[in-house]
Homo-oligomer: A and B are copies of this chain.
């Protein structure tokens, strides 16, 4: 199956038709054939267990008992492999399809699921830089998120912006996970200790808050920030429903004429 694409990896067209590419059934005994599926799987294992630096085309090929040139018969570049990994990880964030009592709960659960999944694959986080994910799983997540907000009564423009705000907030948080190699329990204590150690005259505010917050973790900060956004959305929804205007939006200028 040589599906070397004419489209650059990450481009919308590139994903089309790749949703499910099941490998042909392993014929008889012996090593299964190298295929897109096995390549992505092996690459993800290397990335998760040995880090981004360890994921090289040579290493990947040797793990698969093959050679780099063979890899390039299934994949057009290393970046394409990375894009596949990114979307696959997004796929892991899928929620069980339970019903939520409120749209707030649904938003929280969705954001949390994405955040948790990302932090479970810390070595893959850099893959989410500079490319807003647009693979099949990213699309599914976006669809479900916007649908929740529409169902809650948000006007369409509101729903889109609300989803984007939450998604980018989650990525922003996940991306700066301070993953020191020494994964000791007091992990985020390092940064906090640093803040506390600063000169309290040049950094009065920083040292004040650092002293007062001994038990705060980055996960708790995430929950707090997420709460702020949802509160903001709640506010906006109330305003929308009261005035019944089409698009209030907190002092943002909206509504250019369609081209």
- Contacts from A to B (Cβ < 8 Å): 12, 125-126, 128-132, 134, 139, 142-144, 146-147, 150, 156-157, 159-162, 164-165, 168-173, 175-179, 190-191, 194, 197-198, 202-206, 208-210, 212-216, 220-221, 223-225, 227-233, 235-236, 249-259
Contacts and interface: CB of A to CB of B under 8 A. Distances in A.
A172 B236 CA distance: 22
B134 A209 contact: no
Contacts of A253: 220
A116 to B, nearest CB: 16
- Determine which residue in A139, A170, A231 has the highest number of CB atoms from chain B within 10 A of its CB, and name it: A231
20 contacts: A125-B130, A128-B175, A130-B176, A132-B176, A134-B191, A139-B203, A144-B205, A161-B216, A164-B221, A164-B225, A168-B169, A168-B173, A171-B172, A171-B176, A172-B175, A225-B229, A227-B232, A227-B251, A228-B233, A229-B229
A231 B162 CA distance: 13
Given A134-B191, A206-B142, A220-B252, A236 B225 contact: no
A89 to B, nearest CB: 15
Contact of A235 (B144, B197, B206, B231): B231
A190 B11 CA distance: 10
Nearest to A146: B205
B205 A161 contact: no
A210 B157 CA distance: 8
Contacts of A144: 205
A217 to B, nearest CB: 9
Given A128-B175, A156-B209, A228-B236, 4 more contacts: A146-B209, A162-B228, A228-B250, A230-B250
